[in-house]
Amino acid sequence: MSVAESQQVTPRSGEEKETSPGFRLSEQVLHAIDRQVISSGLRLIILIPCVSIFVYFMAWAYQGASPQWWKDSIQPSVNLSFSTTNALLCLVLLTGYLFAIGFHRFRVRLSLQTFHSRVEHYKNQHRSVESLHGFDGLEFHLQKSMAGHTWTLLFAFLANILLLISIIFDLTAEYSNLSLFTSFSFTILSIGQHLTTRNSSFNMVEKTGLLMAYTPPVHPSTLQMVFNDLLRTHMDPLLRASYDEYIKEVESGFLIKVDRRYAREKFLITLYRHANGLDRKTMKEELEEVFTKEGLDYVLKNDAFSLEVWLALFQKVNQSCPAFFRMIDRLKQDLESGRESAFPDLIFEVDMENVVTTHANLFTMMHNLSDKPRTIVYRIQTPNFEPRDVAFKYRLSPGEKFWWSDNPLPLAAEGDDDVLGIMSGLLKDGTVGWQTLLPKGKGDATVSIRLEEEDGELILGRQINVRVRTEFRQWLRQSSSIFTFVLGGIGVLSSIIMSLYYLFGQI
């Protein structure tokens, strides 16, 4: 069983249907076919043109004469040369590729229409998502993806037309041979154009269908409610608007005696642990400590934010910010084992990705264990990233209670004296910093962390060694796309020059 049961609940505010059932159903069917057969699963949109390239070469290789076995066994029956037969087979493949591209583009266009209808729906409710951070970038990204699919379809259409012309006329003729070569070049361009859209796939069927196409433009440098801020930062504008409405209903179900910030953090960290293996019974017992019966029923039976949605969100954040989860996992292990804090009056943890691709996320957590306010300076120094030297001054207030234990704690138990309760308190009362560092180049890099008193006295110093490199899958797609664009462009340009040469005669 998951966080969200299959049982339907009456939609509350912000959960009305944005699109008609028929329109929604058609997109669900198209998306299922597209995911299983066209763009994913069998990946016909990649498989078919790759096979057709091999058939192109077969048609070229035997333009002069067919193999002897073909002449003796097959050609008398079909009355077609081996080259023409391969050209016809290639035409069939490219026609299938054209339909696959057309189907995929139609599905993307339908998803884009649903996206705009959702935006209009929120606007009619006077909750405009167009003003949210990241909306303009997301909309541009979706429009760019749609334009890429249009060019892919256009190149595939031109390749089919030119191949058909070369078949109608004799393949041994100069113009027919040139038409075959140009058709091959447009097929290569179509493949290259499609590869550029692979990193921006999206759909509106799934609640998290826009996450892959969305890149957060900004994030807070100091997280106030840690899990809440992390999740909201990585949510696309539509999902964020839905989440804001959802969390209002969730907070209305908290127990009156429980602090709202503490309850929200415990709610989210419990869901995170449930997504990573915490059994449902224990999860429910932990949530009962902060929710009323009606509030817990709303969370468990809500379809808008089911376990699948939370899994996708946590996976997105984990891929983007693995250092944060490593940091809190270390704190979890310290609490479970009863390990003493490195300082008697201060908790300090820092982490950063081991492998950096586009940018580095540096996370720190500080918590004042004493009963008096304390001011410290947190400094980052590095020769391999920008900014090279940055310092933050934090005033650490004492926590509402002593959120630590030198005795081993269970992961979950009645009350707040367990790992989930202590971690929720640490995240509520502690200070979590999130800095983005931009690498200057590839290779080995170092980042020095200094924790100082106001007068400059060093409290703690650490050095983090990382490796800066390009993400392999993205590099492979970009390299393949550039290669196919260059190869196809050279082919089309050569065809134009040769056509002019044939048209105006030899010079």
Q: What is the pLDDT along the chain (507 residues), one digit of tens a residue?
A: 333 333 333 343 344 444 555 565 688 899 999 999 999 888 999 999 999 999 999 888 887 778 888 888 888 888 888 888 999 999 999 999 999 999 999 999 999 999 999 999 888 888 888 888 899 999 999 999 999 999 999 999 999 999 998 888 765 566 778 888 999 999 999 999 999 988 888 999 999 999 989 989 889 999 988 999 999 999 999 999 999 999 999 999 999 988 888 889 889 999 998 888 888 888 998 899 999 999 999 998 888 898 889 989 999 999 999 999 999 888 888 888 877 777 778 888 999 999 999 899 999 998 888 888 889 999 999 999 999 999 999 998 886 666 677 778 787 777 777 888 888 888 888 889 999 999 999 999 999 999 998 888 888 889 999 999 988 888 888 899 999 999 999 999 998 988 888 777 655
Crossing angle of helices 322-337 and 419-429, in 10° steps, is 130
Best CA proximity match to 155, nearest among 97, 88, 219, 74:
97
Q: Residue 309 to residues 231, 243, 325: CA-CA distances in angstroms? A: 12, 11, 19
Give the whole-angstrom CA distance, residue 410 versus residue 54: 61
With a CB cutoff of 8 Å and minimum separation 6, the contacts of 250 are 264, 267, 295, 298, 299
Q: If you ran DSSP here, which 8-state letter would residue 382 be given?
A: -
Q: How many CB atoms lie within 10 A of CB 45?
A: 22
The reported pLDDT for the residue numbered 505 is 66
The reported pLDDT for the residue numbered 12 is 38
To which residue do tokens 């073909």 refer?
A: 70
Question: What pTM does this model have?
Answer: 0.84
**Peptide linkage before 11 cis (omega within 30 of 0):** no
Domain map (residue ranges) of the chain = 35-205+476-504, 218-320, 321-469
Please state which CATH number belongs to domain 321-469. Answer: 2.60.40.10
The reported pLDDT for the residue numbered 178 is 86
Q: Which amino acid is at 261?
A: R
Q: If you ran DSSP here, which 8-state letter would residue 291 be given?
A: B
Q: Which helix (H) or strand (E) holds 159?
A: helix 135-168
End-to-end CA distance of the chain: 77
With a CB cutoff of 8 Å and minimum separation 6, the contacts of 495 are 178, 181, 182, 185
Q: How many CB atoms lie within 10 A of CB 239?
A: 25
Per-residue burial over 47-74, b = 16 or more CB atoms within 10 Å of its CB, e = otherwise: ebbeebeebbeebbebbeebeeebeeee
Crossing angle of helices 260-275 and 237-251, in 10° steps, is 120
Contact 386, 440 (CB under 8 A): yes
Pairing of strands 374-381, 443-452: antiparallel
Contact 453, 376 (CB under 8 A): yes
To which residue do tokens 């050609």 refer?
A: 75
Contact 447, 352 (CB under 8 A): yes
Sign (positive/negative) of CA torsion 496, 500, 506, 507? Answer: negative
